[in-house]
Amino acid sequence: MSNSKTSTRLDISFDSGDDTCRAWLYLPTGVTAPPVVILGHGLGGTREMRLDAFAERFARAGIAAVAFTYRHFGDSTGQPRQLLSINRQLADWDAAIAHVKGRRDVDGTRIAVWGSSFGGGHSITVASRRPELTAAVAQCPFTDGLASALALGPVASLKVLPSVAKDYVAMLRGGPPSMIPLAGPPGSLALMNAPDALPGYQALLPKDSTFRNEVAARVAPTITTYRPGRHAHKIAFPILFCISDTDSVTPPEQTERYAKTAPRGEIKHYDAGHFEFYRGEPFEQLVTDQTEFLTRHLASAQVRS
Protein backbone atom coordinates (compact mmCIF):
# COMPACT_ATOMS: atom_id res chain seq x y z
CA MET A 1 0.00 0.00 0.00
CA SER A 2 1.26 3.47 -0.86
CA ASN A 3 0.04 6.86 0.29
CA SER A 4 0.01 10.34 -1.17
CA LYS A 5 -1.46 13.61 0.06
CA THR A 6 -4.71 13.07 -1.77
CA SER A 7 -5.23 9.34 -2.24
CA THR A 8 -4.37 5.89 -0.97
CA ARG A 9 -3.57 2.98 -3.28
CA LEU A 10 -4.60 -0.49 -2.18
CA ASP A 11 -3.63 -3.79 -3.78
CA ILE A 12 -6.88 -5.67 -4.36
CA SER A 13 -8.09 -8.68 -6.33
CA PHE A 14 -11.37 -10.17 -7.45
CA ASP A 15 -12.46 -13.51 -8.86
CA SER A 16 -13.35 -13.90 -12.52
CA GLY A 17 -14.41 -17.39 -13.47
CA ASP A 18 -11.94 -19.77 -11.84
CA ASP A 19 -9.19 -17.16 -11.90
CA THR A 20 -8.16 -13.98 -10.09
CA CYS A 21 -7.72 -10.51 -11.51
CA ARG A 22 -5.21 -8.31 -9.68
CA ALA A 23 -5.97 -4.63 -9.39
CA TRP A 24 -5.22 -1.35 -7.67
CA LEU A 25 -7.86 0.66 -5.86
CA TYR A 26 -7.21 4.38 -5.51
CA LEU A 27 -9.27 5.95 -2.72
CA PRO A 28 -9.47 9.74 -2.49
CA THR A 29 -8.56 11.03 0.94
CA GLY A 30 -11.37 12.48 3.02
CA VAL A 31 -14.21 11.46 0.67
CA THR A 32 -16.93 9.22 2.09
CA ALA A 33 -18.42 6.72 -0.39
CA PRO A 34 -16.88 8.28 -3.51
CA PRO A 35 -18.07 7.37 -7.00
CA VAL A 36 -15.73 4.98 -8.80
CA VAL A 37 -14.31 4.50 -12.28
CA ILE A 38 -13.00 1.12 -13.48
CA LEU A 39 -10.02 1.19 -15.86
CA GLY A 40 -8.98 -1.53 -18.32
CA HIS A 41 -6.09 -1.47 -20.82
CA GLY A 42 -5.63 -2.31 -24.46
CA LEU A 43 -4.27 -5.25 -26.45
CA GLY A 44 -2.05 -7.26 -24.08
CA GLY A 45 -1.57 -4.25 -21.80
CA THR A 46 -1.38 -4.45 -18.01
CA ARG A 47 -2.29 -1.85 -15.42
CA GLU A 48 1.37 -0.92 -14.86
CA MET A 49 1.44 0.56 -18.36
CA ARG A 50 0.26 4.03 -17.29
CA LEU A 51 -3.23 3.16 -16.07
CA ASP A 52 -1.94 4.20 -12.65
CA ALA A 53 -1.29 7.72 -13.98
CA PHE A 54 -4.92 8.16 -15.02
CA ALA A 55 -6.30 6.48 -11.89
CA GLU A 56 -4.23 8.69 -9.60
CA ARG A 57 -5.50 11.86 -11.27
CA PHE A 58 -9.11 10.73 -11.02
CA ALA A 59 -8.63 9.96 -7.32
CA ARG A 60 -7.12 13.41 -6.83
CA ALA A 61 -10.43 14.80 -8.11
CA GLY A 62 -12.44 12.80 -5.57
CA ILE A 63 -13.27 9.79 -7.76
CA ALA A 64 -12.15 6.35 -6.61
CA ALA A 65 -10.48 4.31 -9.35
CA VAL A 66 -9.94 0.59 -9.90
CA ALA A 67 -7.23 -0.28 -12.45
CA PHE A 68 -7.18 -4.00 -13.20
CA THR A 69 -5.22 -6.51 -15.27
CA TYR A 70 -7.08 -9.08 -17.37
CA ARG A 71 -6.81 -12.79 -16.71
CA HIS A 72 -3.90 -14.55 -18.44
CA PHE A 73 -1.76 -11.38 -18.34
CA GLY A 74 0.62 -9.71 -15.90
CA ASP A 75 0.17 -10.77 -12.28
CA SER A 76 -3.42 -11.96 -12.75
CA THR A 77 -3.89 -15.73 -12.87
CA GLY A 78 -5.09 -17.85 -15.78
CA GLN A 79 -3.60 -20.56 -17.95
CA PRO A 80 -2.32 -20.60 -20.60
CA ARG A 81 -0.44 -17.34 -20.24
CA GLN A 82 -0.89 -14.58 -22.85
CA LEU A 83 -4.29 -15.88 -23.94
CA LEU A 84 -6.45 -13.02 -25.22
CA SER A 85 -10.09 -14.07 -25.20
CA ILE A 86 -12.56 -11.28 -25.92
CA ASN A 87 -15.34 -13.09 -24.06
CA ARG A 88 -13.13 -13.70 -21.02
CA GLN A 89 -12.00 -10.09 -20.96
CA LEU A 90 -15.60 -8.89 -21.09
CA ALA A 91 -16.35 -11.29 -18.21
CA ASP A 92 -13.44 -9.68 -16.32
CA TRP A 93 -15.16 -6.30 -16.71
CA ASP A 94 -18.38 -7.77 -15.33
CA ALA A 95 -16.45 -9.26 -12.41
CA ALA A 96 -14.82 -5.90 -11.70
CA ILE A 97 -18.23 -4.20 -11.65
CA ALA A 98 -19.61 -6.87 -9.32
CA HIS A 99 -16.63 -6.42 -7.00
CA VAL A 100 -17.05 -2.64 -6.88
CA LYS A 101 -20.78 -3.00 -6.14
CA GLY A 102 -19.92 -5.20 -3.18
CA ARG A 103 -17.39 -2.83 -1.60
CA ARG A 104 -18.33 -0.61 1.33
CA ASP A 105 -15.64 2.06 0.77
CA VAL A 106 -17.04 3.31 -2.55
CA ASP A 107 -20.48 4.17 -3.89
CA GLY A 108 -21.48 1.16 -5.96
CA THR A 109 -24.44 3.07 -7.40
CA ARG A 110 -22.17 5.57 -9.21
CA ILE A 111 -19.85 3.57 -11.46
CA ALA A 112 -18.12 4.58 -14.69
CA VAL A 113 -16.00 2.43 -17.01
CA TRP A 114 -12.84 3.69 -18.75
CA GLY A 115 -11.06 1.78 -21.48
CA SER A 116 -8.17 2.57 -23.80
CA SER A 117 -7.49 1.15 -27.27
CA PHE A 118 -8.80 -2.46 -27.29
CA GLY A 119 -10.09 -1.76 -23.78
CA GLY A 120 -11.87 1.27 -25.23
CA GLY A 121 -13.80 -1.12 -27.42
CA HIS A 122 -14.60 -3.20 -24.35
CA SER A 123 -15.84 -0.11 -22.50
CA ILE A 124 -18.31 0.51 -25.35
CA THR A 125 -19.49 -3.11 -25.26
CA VAL A 126 -19.79 -3.16 -21.46
CA ALA A 127 -21.60 0.20 -21.41
CA SER A 128 -24.12 -1.07 -23.97
CA ARG A 129 -24.88 -4.10 -21.79
CA ARG A 130 -24.94 -2.45 -18.35
CA PRO A 131 -27.62 0.28 -18.22
CA GLU A 132 -27.13 0.70 -14.47
CA LEU A 133 -23.74 2.36 -15.02
CA THR A 134 -23.46 6.14 -14.80
CA ALA A 135 -20.88 7.03 -17.47
CA ALA A 136 -18.17 5.65 -19.74
CA VAL A 137 -14.93 6.80 -21.38
CA ALA A 138 -13.57 5.26 -24.59
CA GLN A 139 -10.01 6.47 -25.25
CA CYS A 140 -8.64 5.94 -28.80
CA PRO A 141 -11.10 3.06 -28.87
CA PHE A 142 -10.89 -0.03 -31.05
CA THR A 143 -14.34 0.11 -32.64
CA ASP A 144 -14.21 -2.07 -35.75
CA GLY A 145 -11.92 -5.04 -36.32
CA LEU A 146 -12.59 -5.13 -40.05
CA ALA A 147 -11.69 -1.45 -40.43
CA SER A 148 -8.48 -1.98 -38.44
CA ALA A 149 -7.56 -5.01 -40.56
CA LEU A 150 -8.08 -3.01 -43.75
CA ALA A 151 -5.92 -0.21 -42.33
CA LEU A 152 -3.20 -2.78 -41.60
CA GLY A 153 -3.44 -4.01 -45.19
CA PRO A 154 -4.32 -7.41 -46.69
CA VAL A 155 -0.71 -8.57 -46.96
CA ALA A 156 -0.05 -7.95 -43.28
CA SER A 157 -3.34 -9.63 -42.37
CA LEU A 158 -2.47 -12.72 -44.42
CA LYS A 159 0.93 -13.00 -42.72
CA VAL A 160 -0.67 -14.04 -39.44
CA LEU A 161 -2.65 -16.97 -40.89
CA PRO A 162 0.10 -19.65 -40.61
CA SER A 163 0.62 -18.69 -36.95
CA VAL A 164 -3.11 -18.88 -36.32
CA ALA A 165 -3.31 -22.34 -37.92
CA LYS A 166 -0.35 -23.54 -35.84
CA ASP A 167 -1.97 -22.24 -32.66
CA TYR A 168 -5.27 -23.97 -33.42
CA VAL A 169 -3.38 -27.25 -33.85
CA ALA A 170 -1.64 -26.65 -30.52
CA MET A 171 -4.99 -25.95 -28.89
CA LEU A 172 -6.52 -29.18 -30.24
CA ARG A 173 -3.51 -31.19 -29.08
CA GLY A 174 -3.48 -29.58 -25.65
CA GLY A 175 -0.02 -28.11 -26.19
CA PRO A 176 1.33 -24.67 -25.36
CA PRO A 177 0.00 -21.83 -27.53
CA SER A 178 1.78 -20.64 -30.65
CA MET A 179 2.59 -17.00 -30.05
CA ILE A 180 2.63 -13.92 -32.25
CA PRO A 181 4.09 -10.51 -31.29
CA LEU A 182 1.61 -7.88 -30.17
CA ALA A 183 3.69 -5.10 -31.69
CA GLY A 184 6.57 -5.16 -34.16
CA PRO A 185 8.48 -3.03 -36.66
CA PRO A 186 6.82 -2.09 -39.97
CA GLY A 187 6.53 -5.09 -42.28
CA SER A 188 7.10 -7.61 -39.48
CA LEU A 189 4.76 -10.37 -38.37
CA ALA A 190 2.77 -8.82 -35.50
CA LEU A 191 -0.79 -7.88 -34.62
CA MET A 192 0.28 -4.24 -34.86
CA ASN A 193 3.22 -3.14 -37.02
CA ALA A 194 2.52 0.55 -37.59
CA PRO A 195 5.70 2.63 -37.19
CA ASP A 196 4.65 3.87 -33.75
CA ALA A 197 3.38 0.53 -32.38
CA LEU A 198 6.53 -1.09 -30.95
CA PRO A 199 8.12 2.11 -29.58
CA GLY A 200 4.68 3.07 -28.29
CA TYR A 201 4.41 -0.09 -26.20
CA GLN A 202 8.01 0.19 -25.00
CA ALA A 203 7.45 3.78 -23.82
CA LEU A 204 4.68 2.62 -21.48
CA LEU A 205 6.75 0.03 -19.63
CA PRO A 206 8.07 0.71 -16.12
CA LYS A 207 11.65 -0.34 -15.39
CA ASP A 208 10.69 -3.54 -13.58
CA SER A 209 8.02 -4.57 -16.08
CA THR A 210 7.30 -8.25 -16.75
CA PHE A 211 5.30 -7.37 -19.89
CA ARG A 212 5.53 -9.98 -22.64
CA ASN A 213 5.23 -8.72 -26.21
CA GLU A 214 3.35 -11.76 -27.44
CA VAL A 215 -0.10 -13.28 -27.46
CA ALA A 216 -1.63 -16.61 -28.47
CA ALA A 217 -2.13 -16.32 -32.24
CA ARG A 218 -5.68 -17.77 -32.10
CA VAL A 219 -6.98 -14.31 -31.16
CA ALA A 220 -6.29 -12.78 -34.59
CA PRO A 221 -9.52 -13.89 -36.36
CA THR A 222 -11.66 -12.89 -33.38
CA ILE A 223 -10.18 -9.39 -33.40
CA THR A 224 -11.16 -8.94 -37.04
CA THR A 225 -14.78 -9.85 -36.33
CA TYR A 226 -15.05 -7.79 -33.10
CA ARG A 227 -16.96 -4.58 -33.86
CA PRO A 228 -17.86 -2.95 -30.53
CA GLY A 229 -18.64 0.40 -32.17
CA ARG A 230 -21.85 -1.13 -33.50
CA HIS A 231 -23.22 -1.13 -29.94
CA ALA A 232 -22.65 2.59 -29.26
CA HIS A 233 -26.23 3.45 -30.18
CA LYS A 234 -27.50 1.33 -27.28
CA ILE A 235 -25.71 3.39 -24.58
CA ALA A 236 -28.29 5.59 -22.89
CA PHE A 237 -25.96 7.31 -20.39
CA PRO A 238 -23.10 9.76 -21.16
CA ILE A 239 -20.02 8.37 -22.88
CA LEU A 240 -16.92 10.34 -23.84
CA PHE A 241 -15.05 9.34 -27.00
CA CYS A 242 -11.42 10.56 -27.12
CA ILE A 243 -10.29 10.20 -30.74
CA SER A 244 -6.78 10.42 -32.16
CA ASP A 245 -6.97 12.13 -35.54
CA THR A 246 -3.69 10.46 -36.58
CA ASP A 247 -4.55 7.01 -35.19
CA SER A 248 -2.52 4.24 -36.84
CA VAL A 249 -4.46 1.37 -35.24
CA THR A 250 -8.12 2.38 -35.01
CA PRO A 251 -9.22 4.48 -38.00
CA PRO A 252 -10.61 7.75 -36.56
CA GLU A 253 -13.23 8.28 -39.27
CA GLN A 254 -14.90 4.96 -38.45
CA THR A 255 -14.68 5.66 -34.71
CA GLU A 256 -16.39 9.03 -35.15
CA ARG A 257 -19.20 7.51 -37.21
CA TYR A 258 -19.95 5.08 -34.39
CA ALA A 259 -19.53 7.74 -31.69
CA LYS A 260 -22.16 9.91 -33.31
CA THR A 261 -24.73 7.14 -32.84
CA ALA A 262 -24.48 7.26 -29.03
CA PRO A 263 -27.54 9.22 -27.79
CA ARG A 264 -25.54 11.05 -25.10
CA GLY A 265 -22.10 10.75 -26.64
CA GLU A 266 -19.48 13.47 -26.29
CA ILE A 267 -16.59 13.53 -28.78
CA LYS A 268 -13.17 15.12 -28.38
CA HIS A 269 -10.38 15.07 -30.98
CA TYR A 270 -6.61 15.15 -30.38
CA ASP A 271 -3.62 15.58 -32.68
CA ALA A 272 -1.57 13.02 -30.75
CA GLY A 273 -1.11 9.52 -32.14
CA HIS A 274 -2.61 6.32 -30.74
CA PHE A 275 0.39 5.56 -28.52
CA GLU A 276 1.04 9.14 -27.46
CA PHE A 277 -2.09 9.46 -25.36
CA TYR A 278 -0.45 8.13 -22.19
CA ARG A 279 2.41 10.55 -21.66
CA GLY A 280 3.44 14.21 -21.77
CA GLU A 281 1.17 16.98 -22.99
CA PRO A 282 -1.37 14.66 -24.69
CA PHE A 283 -1.84 12.85 -21.37
CA GLU A 284 -2.39 16.15 -19.59
CA GLN A 285 -5.04 17.21 -22.11
CA LEU A 286 -6.80 13.85 -21.99
CA VAL A 287 -6.81 13.37 -18.23
CA THR A 288 -8.05 16.94 -17.74
CA ASP A 289 -10.92 16.44 -20.19
CA GLN A 290 -11.78 13.03 -18.77
CA THR A 291 -11.69 14.25 -15.17
CA GLU A 292 -14.04 17.10 -16.05
CA PHE A 293 -16.40 14.67 -17.81
CA LEU A 294 -16.38 12.10 -15.00
CA THR A 295 -16.76 14.72 -12.28
CA ARG A 296 -19.65 16.34 -14.09
CA HIS A 297 -21.64 13.13 -14.54
CA LEU A 298 -20.68 11.12 -11.47
CA ALA A 299 -21.18 14.07 -9.12
CA SER A 300 -24.61 14.83 -10.56
CA ALA A 301 -25.79 11.22 -10.21
CA GLN A 302 -27.99 10.22 -7.29
CA VAL A 303 -25.80 9.87 -4.20
CA ARG A 304 -26.46 6.83 -2.08
CA SER A 305 -28.17 7.69 1.19
Residues 212-248 have pLDDT tens digits of: 999 999 999 999 999 999 999 999 999 999 999 999 8
Residues 70-101 have pLDDT tens digits of: 999 999 999 999 999 999 999 999 999 999 99
What is the Cα 21 distance to its own chain's centre?
A: 14
Alpha-carbon distance 149 to 94, whole Å?
28
Alpha-carbon distance 59 to 66, whole Å?
10
Alpha-carbon distance 88 to 208, whole Å?
27
Residues 92-125 have pLDDT tens digits of: 999 999 999 999 999 999 999 999 999 999 999 9
Residues 40-75 have pLDDT tens digits of: 999 999 999 999 999 999 999 999 999 999 999 999
* C-beta of residue 120 within 8 angstroms of C-beta of residue 144: no
Other C-beta atoms closer than 10 Å to the C-beta of 272 total 21
- Tell the CATH topology of 2-147+228-300: Rossmann fold (3.40.50)
Residue 94 contacts by C-beta under 8 Å, 6 or more apart in sequence?
16, 126, 130
Average pLDDT along the chain = 93
Alpha-carbon distance 68 to 46, whole Å?
8
pLDDT of residue 1: 47
Confidence check: pLDDT of 152 > 80? no
Confidence check: pLDDT of 298 > 90? yes
Q: What is the DSSP letter of 26?
A: E
Instruction: Give the β-pairing of 111-116 and 135-139.
Output: parallel
